[in-house]
Amino acid sequence: MSFDPNGARARFPGLVTDWVLFDNAGGSQILDSAMDRVREAFLTSHVQPGGTYAASQKVSERVDAATREWAACWNAADPRELVFGASTTQLFQNLSRAIEPTIQPGDGIIVCEVDHEANIGPWVRLASRGAEIRWWRPNRETFELSLDDLSRLLTKRTRLVSFSHVSNVLGHINPAREIVRLAHDAGAQVVIDGVSYAPHRRVDVRAIGADFYAASVYKVYGPHQSILYGRLDRLEALPPINHYFIPADKLPHKLAPGGYNFELVHGAGAVPQYLASLGPRGLDEVADHETALAERVLSFLRSRKGVRIIGLPKGAPDRVPTISFVVEGRDPTEIVPKVDAHRVGIKAGDFYARRLCDALGLTKPDSSSVGAGTLAQGGVVRASLVHYNTLAEADRLCAVLDQVIS
């Protein structure tokens, strides 16, 4: 039986609106149960952990429970492998700080040009330790990353390969398992940005063989929280970045300076249960529906003269419905407000994949995006859909674009 998005929609109060919300790669709607849990936490355990009184104990139990839920959801071997944090950007910065003292001059680091800056900047900064930064760049026409190119970049000195499981602009699903295999064969570790993958498919960190993997819960139907997975032996080997008196072997504390946001972690703990409710394979169960959504929008875009799809042009199993395009002679930031007028919410900009947009010649030289979500000049128009979106909504977007880009 095919997936019916209307059942899913009933779980998202924010979808009760006359808007079509297609900025899901920016942030998804939040589950009813996640909201309930956040409220419950404020009402019944808005205290600090570490005390012997009941409410304080409850905080610790709730954090432990959410960690166990997510560890099981991502198939981690041990809940100690998960660290919560405010954002993926912050978690990768923390990871970079921890890795920094272990870098020797001449160590190689491979970063991927298609990535969000959250998974580039933290590794490029290690050049200050003498690391040699190498760039894995996509084909300029097909936007695809080649494994042969990666093989050529890898050397015996490569310490780290960072890449995204899915690009937040291109929507391609990168072959994570194969990339990890190549990196491991060369003796390197991998840091994977799973932010644009986790809302669409089941994450299995052990099947992938990830050393480090992160995603943002606020794009996976929960509140503003992010999760960093690290294989236990990798985490144990890292120098700590917390206060000197926090035991250096204590996980997750060694990598989590400052307290957790306990209320939001409790809320985040509602998400795995929802994903499991989608079917035995969780989000994998909705892949066909997402492919149909992508194809509905992409087929419209393919039919329009002057439109260039920035990413795979067809709805396919190795792509998610995060769809970017440009229109000849039109600035993306000028198109989007015209779409807003029809109560369809999409977005324009570089989405912090600035290096990709620069490399493709899509950003303007004076482009500056200041603050979260601010439109950069140029970039792409992006419509990003998830499982709770309907084909009727996709049709509405196409009808509006038909008027706006004619």
**CB 168 to ligand PLP: min, Å:** 3
* CB of 276 or CB of 375, closer to ligand PLP: 375
**CB 166 to ligand PLP: min, Å:** 7
**CB 116 to ligand PLP: min, Å:** 3
**CB 219 to ligand PLP: min, Å:** 7
HEC string for 195-216: CCCCCCCCCCHHHHCCCEEEEE
**CB 197 to ligand PLP: min, Å:** 8
**CB 261 to ligand PLP: min, Å:** 13
| Distance of alpha carbon 185 from the chain centroid | 26
* CB of 271 or CB of 405, closer to ligand PLP: 271
Per-residue tokens: 346: 């999409």
Rounded distance between C-alpha atoms, residue 280 and residue 288, angstroms: 15
Residue 226 three-state SS: strand
Pairing of strands 158-164, 108-112: parallel
* CB of 217 or CB of 404, closer to ligand PLP: 217
Nearest CA to 98 out of 20, 212, 264 is that of 212
Beta strands per DSSP E along 179-330: 189-193, 212-216, 226-230, 307-309, 322-327
Rounded distance between C-alpha atoms, residue 110 and residue 398, angstroms: 39
Rounded distance between C-alpha atoms, residue 33 and residue 231, angstroms: 29
Q: Is 405 in contact with 335 (CB distance < 8 Å)? A: yes
Residues lying near ligand PLP in the complex (CB under 6 A) are found at 25, 87-89, 116, 118, 164, 168, 193, 195-196, 216, 226
**CB 265 to ligand PLP: min, Å:** 14
* CB of 88 or CB of 389, closer to ligand PLP: 88
* CB of 202 or CB of 382, closer to ligand PLP: 382
Specify the DSSP class assigned to residue 10. Answer: T
| Distance of alpha carbon 336 from the chain centroid | 23
* CB of 33 or CB of 226, closer to ligand PLP: 226
